[in-house]
A and B are shown apart, each in its own frame.
Chain A
Amino acid sequence: MAKKTYTNEEIQRTANKIRKQVLKFAIERGGCYITQTNSSAEILATLYLDVMNLGDSLGDPDGIPFPGVPGPDNMDFPRGSLYNGPTQAPYDRFFLSPAHYACTLYCTLFAVGRVSETGIERFNKDGWIFEQIGAEHSPGFETTAGSLAQTISVACGHAHARKLKGEEGTIWCFMSDGELEEGQLWEAIQAAAFYKLDNFVLVCDINGQQIEGPTKEIMNTQPLYDRFTAFGAKTVEIDGHDIQAIKDACRTAHPGQPLVVLCNTKPTHGMPFLDHRTERLHFVNVKTPEQIAEAKAFYDSME
């Protein structure tokens, strides 16, 4: 069956739906990881609807109760990767590294029809798989990624394995810019270039924010284009809210090299009412009467 194609307008509507769902949670529950959603909504919507070659979801759209941690007696539990479809070649695989983007990822799965309304309402509900910081049982997750910059190494191992087995398909890894400060990332890029992993793509959400404030003031990582290029990756830098640019960048030819797509984004994109709250944007509280009022007013204005 031919894969359904989506127009840029349809992808934009999906990105808006992701934002709207996260804002709903923030209003109902006193706050959420809103800014990560704002910076990455177009990236994730484009990856899921256009760029990645994923099969239909094999996960329960309503979610399931927490199935236990992996162990000698529990290796066959339903994995979060089921929501991305079959993990075997020739399908692509998607690895989300910054696990505090969990809510954004669940809302993406909801917006693209892989998680139901019943399921998404189970976000952060005790005993269910939609945990605030996801692990490998959580919808859309391949790895236990809460300790930053570990997932890229695992994803590269998958890409290397597929090459060794002569299998097709691309391994996609999503990272945020704060975790690019970790040394392990650079070890992984060095090795991905060394092993010529041209079936591996790293997509970075460069939103310029981390917990204590703007990235450039906490620990500067720029110039990222020059750094990734020097480490041996084919690197492209784009506006991460431009859907056509994301599509084009992800299809950049990169024979014999890993591809890195640097998406420059804005943590308040799509929610201008947050523009004045630029100090602490890692987890946005919606608690005071003023915060609730402005969030609700904006929510009601969203299509």
Chain B
Amino acid sequence: MIMETNVYSKSITAWGAEHPETVVLSADLGTSCEIMEFKKNYPDRYFSLGIAEQNMIGWAAGLAREGFLPYLHSFGVFLYRRVLDQVEMSVAYGNLPVGLVGFVPGLTTPGGVSHQSTNDIGTLRSVPNMRIYSIADATDIEGFLPMAYEAGGPFYVRMFRKSVPRLFPANEPIQFNHARIAAEGSDVALFTENIATEEGLKAVKVLQNHGVSVQMLSVSTLKPFTDPQVVDALKKAKYGAVTYENHNIIGGLGTCVAEVMAENGIGKPLIKVGVDDLYTHGASKMFLLKKYNVDAMSCIKAVEKLIGKDLGIEESEIEAVRFEDFNGVA
């Protein structure tokens, strides 16, 4: 698997070159959020607002109302949980083009519960006008800023930094409200987002080796959630659906899919894999994914339960899946 580095950094810097109205705001986490290259290139468009996120949200609203495109950078938790009222009243109500770029989503930080955004999707889904995105790989990041700009309005995104896998072809950019078909199959519909996409691809490969056919969708737009491909996948799946997310199983991707199933009268079982409505603690990513049953094996177990078969899959099989470059079918 190819790993890329500084993908967001290159992306926001290039965006700044194309769009002179772009301004970058930081709440003292710029060095942790890949915006120092932007600062180096455009020092007069980089604004430090200090460790004072509430004011930063309103300040950005004022800049947006004057024609600027503000992109706010911090760890995800500090851009929705600490500042929810400011996000709602100062930004979302006005449908202002303010971007909230939230790093270290979910369990991807050893920072512990204060730094882990495990209910960002659920919290922000109930905020009118807000668009919610989650990126899964380097290709998603590269196409993200143009896509979000085209979609308009305020957004929150679960963003990656440092070393990021390239799972999807570089010439197939992320699309608004349009999931990637990451695998074709008819036994089970598997929906993933964020790091669960990479883990889900491993799980699917092992499941395919055991004769299970999976339709896998990597979802990058969580709100709106009206992609017709979701219904198609659910209708096609013989046994039902599994959702797999780097988030609380309440309010996130699992809830989005459950609502679509209910609204479309799709009477099939759904198993939600994610953080089981718990506060979590700080440790390495893979340790946390295993501990909280959000790893590839947990996804496999959910599929086994859905199809009613114990396939006897060992952990070593997942480790043995040498993940080559992914070739998307759609």
Contact = CB atoms under 8 A, between A and B. Distances in A.
A183 interface: yes
B95 A154 contact: no
Contact of A72 (B47, B67, B129): B129
A70 B93 contact: yes
A143 interface: yes
A153 interface: yes
B55 A191 contact: yes
Contacts of A158: 62-63, 65-66
A72 B62 contact: no
Given A150-B58, A154-B58, A157-B59, 4 more contacts: A70-B129, A151-B58, A157-B60, A161-B62
B86 A184 contact: yes
Contacts of A136: 93-94
A100 interface: no
Max chain B Cβ within 10 angstroms of own Cβ: one of A71, A157, A187: A157
Contact of A157 (B54, B62, B89, B128): B62
A75 B54 CA distance: 24
Contact of A71 (B49, B50, B58, B95): B95
Contacts of A156: 55, 58-59, 62
A53 interface: no
A155 B94 CA distance: 14
A238 B60 CA distance: 32
Contacts of B66: 157-158, 161-162, 165
Interface in B249-285: none
A160 interface: yes
A184 B58 contact: yes
Contacts of A184: 54-55, 58, 86
B59 A190 contact: no
16 contacts: A70-B95, A70-B129, A136-B94, A153-B55, A154-B58, A154-B59, A156-B58, A157-B61, A157-B65, A159-B62, A160-B59, A160-B62, A164-B68, A188-B59, A191-B52, A191-B55
B5 to A, nearest CB: 32
B59 A150 contact: no
Contacts of A188: 55, 58-59
A160 B63 contact: yes
Interface of A: 69-72, 75, 135-136, 143-144, 146-147, 150-162, 164-165, 183-184, 187-188, 190-191, 194-195
Contact of A150 (B44, B64, B89): B89
Contacts of B110: none
Nearest to B62: A157
A180 B55 CA distance: 14
Q: What's the dominant secondary structure at chain A's contact region? A: helix
Given A72-B153, A75-B95, A153 B63 contact: no
B85 interface: yes
Contacts of B302: none
B57 interface: yes
Contacts of A152: 58
Interface in B37-86: 44, 47, 49-50, 52, 54-68, 85-86
A246 B309 CA distance: 80
Contacts of B65: 154, 157-158, 161
Contacts of B128: 69, 71
Contact of B129 (A71, A161, A191): A71
B90 interface: yes
B54 A187 contact: yes
A147 B85 contact: yes
B185 interface: no
A195 B48 CA distance: 10
B165 interface: no
Contacts of A183: 54
A184 to B, nearest CB: 4
A156 B55 CA distance: 9
Nearest to A136: B94
Contacts of B90: 143-144, 150, 153-154
The 10 closest A-B pairs by CB, nearest first: A157-B62, A153-B58, A161-B66, A187-B55, A187-B52, A157-B59, A158-B62, A154-B62, A70-B95, A184-B54
Q: Of residues B65, B68, B85, B86, which shows the largest number of chain A Cβ atoms within 10 Å of its Cβ?
A: B65
Interface in B85-113: 85-86, 89-90, 93-95
A161 B128 CA distance: 26
